Amino acid sequence: MSDDQATAPRAEIFEVGPRDGLQNEPRPIPTAEKLALIDLLSGAGFSRIEVASFVSPKWVPQMADGAEVLAGIQRAPGVSYAALVPNMQGLERALAARADEIAVFASAAEGFSRANINCSVDESLARLAPVARAAQEADLPVRGYVSCVTDCPYDGETDPGDVARVVARLMRMGCYEISLGDTLGQGTPERVAQMLKLVLEEAPADRLAGHFHATSGLALENIDAALDAGLRVFDAACGGLGGCPFAPGAAGNVATEDANAHLRRRGYETGLDEGVLARAAQMAQAMRAPAAR
């Protein structure tokens, strides 16, 4: 590491490609391909990689092999392998599969919550409370996701106050970090800053992460807005994988390699190997190509 790297401020990229990136791919991706991608990413320098989801395979069939993925990866020292869980059954499966941490999710928008999990925002948070409590009793860290923090595909623009209220509830549940998701990728830097101003009244910047999609080409500008607000953790997916099965029109996550290059241009050190990121991006893009005929 150079002297400049040693003294540069740190920013972290939380790699979500193997889960959030792949979940909406129409081609059934073999477990072996997922393992190869995760094992490659494990050598890039990430501290955290989201690799599995224990939601119903009826709704997200791409993630049906979560237990096999967690059993088959080559776990690298110092890397936490995360799994998304929606309920107690999902938590039990994540524990059995030896996930290092879990993520729980709620929407800041009523329309998205009802379309995604068929209940209101308040009902979803009430369901998550015992899941978070049980995970913590099992010494499993819990990360929270808030979706639709700027726009909802059903309700339009999201009230920043609604985002702040969901963040406050997740903080009370004991989430060690809360990721704020611009699910549609329609947020602008100005609206992201407005949302963060209220959210920061409920949670400090070092307990928050930004999760921006590239739909409108503003993901990097939204990262800048979050940096200006004090956030230093950003979700990203190798090769720009992503999309949401319950958010029509949502394109991919911001690409890890793009976010990494942008953060470095801004003077932040991420500790990631650019060569490995480039190979992971190529592998990820090949995985989303149509199956050979």
DSSP labels, 41-53? HTTTT-SEEEEEE
CA distance 50 to 216: 24
Residue 213 has pLDDT above 70, yes or no: yes
Of 2-6, 52-56, 91-95, 211-215, least confident by mean pLDDT is 2-6
The average pLDDT across 193-204 equals 98
Cβ burial, residue 122 (10 Å; 0-12/13-18/19+) = middle
Domain boundaries, the chain: 3-287
CA distance 218 to 207: 23
Task: Compute the mean pLDDT over every residue in the chain, rounded to the nearest whole number.
Answer: 93
CA distance 257 to 13: 10
DSSP labels, 81-95? EEEE--SHHHHHHHH
CA 201 to chain CA mean position, Å: 22
> For 138, phi and psi rounded to 5 degrees?
-95, 10
Among 26-30, 36-40, 239-243, the range with the most confident prediction by mean pLDDT is 36-40
DSSP labels, 166-189? HHHHHHHHT-SEEEEEETTS---H
CA 178 to chain CA mean position, Å: 10
Closest CA relative to residue 142, chosen from 107, 181, 172: 172
Q: What is the pLDDT of residues 139-186, one digit of tens each?
A: 999 999 999 999 999 999 999 999 999 999 999 999 999 999 999 999
CA dihedral (211, 249, 240, 157) in degrees, to 10, reads -20
| Contacts of 104 by beta carbon, 8 Å cutoff, 6+ apart | 84, 85, 86, 128, 131, 132, 142, 143, 144, 145, 170, 173, 175
225 to 70, 87, 218, 219, 259: CA distances (angstroms): 35, 33, 10, 10, 13
Among 36-40, 57-61, 113-117, the range with the most confident prediction by mean pLDDT is 36-40
Q: Write out the catalytic residue numbers.
A: 244
47 to 15, 249, 276: CA distances (angstroms): 9, 31, 15
* Structure-model confidence comparison of residues 245 and 130, the more confident one: 130
CA end-to-end span of the chain, whole Å? 46
196 to 22, 202, 210, 244, 252: CA distances (angstroms): 28, 10, 10, 23, 22
CB 61 within 8 A of CB 69: no
User: Per the CATH hierarchy, to which homologous superfamily does domain 3-287 belong?
Assistant: Aldolase class I (3.20.20.70)
Q: What is the pTM of this model?
A: 0.94
Helix (H, G, I), strand (E, B) or coil at 32: helix
Angle in degrees, CA 109, 244, 131, rounded to 5: 65
